[in-house]
Structure 1
Amino acid sequence: MTLFIHLQIKPIAQIQFRNNWVEMMKAEFPEALIFEADSHSEPFVISQGVSFLKEAEEVVLFLDSDENEKLGACAPLIEKVLRDKTITPFILIQGENKMFEKMAKMMKKEVFKFKGIEESRAQIHQFLS
């Protein structure tokens, strides 16, 4: 299974319930499972993401982040993605998050900067092929 994880690491007032990137990925990769959460999600929601991760063969993680926001509820899921030795995730970040970037660097995971929907679509196609 291919798993797309979309996490918003933002103040609660900035959380969006529709996202163009997610809509594009749903259309482009209809067979993929798309999991969405944010740094204010309930622990149960995050645990669902962790359980999906156990079944995934390919993982795309897209972080939409505010530089000053803590990882919050998403921290356990992010840590699982970074630590999992059975997968090599494709990681894309929009914005910045020092804590996440530090974790990714420690785990020797490459992180790509989001430069637009079209470019990310091409990068993900290349990653999944």
Structure 2
Amino acid sequence: MTLFIHLQIKPIAQIQFRNEWVAQMKVEFPEAIIFEADAHSESIVINQGILFLKTAKKVVLYLDSHANEKLGACAPLIEKVFRNKVIQSIIFIQGENEMFEKMAKMMKKEVLRAESTKKSLTEIHRFLKP
């Protein structure tokens, strides 16, 4: 199974319930599971994302972040993606987040800048190619 994880690390008033990136991924990869959460999500929601990781073979993690926001509820899920040695992952960030970038660097994970949906699609297609 391919798992797409879209996390919003923003003030609660700026959380969006419709996202161009997610909409495009649903069109391009209809067979994939798409999991969405934000820094203010309930722990039960985050735990569902962690459960999805148990059956995933490949993970696309997309973090939409404001620079000074805390990872909040998303931190355990992000850490599970970073620490998992079995699952292949590709990681994107739109915006900046110092804590996320420190975690990625510490875990030796490459983080790609999400400059456009088209560019990330190219990278994802290359990543998912058998």
Please tell me the root mean square deviation across aligned C-alpha atoms, in Å. 0.4
Aligned to 1:15: 15
Alignment-mate amino acid for residue 72 of structure 2: G
Aligned to 1:126: 126
Residues 2 and 56 of structure 2 are in contact (CA less than 8 Å); yes or no, is this contact kept in structure 1? yes
Kindly provide the CA deviation profile for residues 82-126 of structure 1, in whole angstroms up to 9, marking residues without a partner as x. Answer: 000102210000000000000000000000000101001111000
**Structure 1 residues 1-129: aligned runs within 5 Å:** 1-129=1-129
Hey, what's the Cα distance between the residues in 2 that align with 1:69 and 1:27? 30
Structure 2, unpaired ranges of 5+ = none
Hey, what's the Cα distance between the residues in 1 that align with 2:77 and 2:94? 18
Percent of pairs with identical residues: 71
1:21 CA drift (Å)? 0.2
User: Paired residues, what number?
Assistant: 129
Structure 1, unpaired ranges of 5+ = none
Alignment-mate amino acid for residue 49 of structure 2: G
TM-score (norm 1): 0.99
Residues 9 and 70 of structure 2 are in contact (CA less than 8 Å); yes or no, is this contact kept in structure 1? yes
Hey, what's the Cα distance between the residues in 1 that align with 2:11 and 2:17? 13
Alignment-mate amino acid for residue 90 of structure 1: I
Hey, what's the Cα distance between the residues in 2 that align with 1:22 and 1:117? 9
Alignment-mate amino acid for residue 128 of structure 1: L
Hey, what's the Cα distance between the residues in 2 that align with 1:113 and 1:15? 20
Q: Which runs of 4+ in 1 moved over 3 A?
A: none
SS in 2 for 1:55: coil
Alignment-mate amino acid for residue 64 of structure 2: D
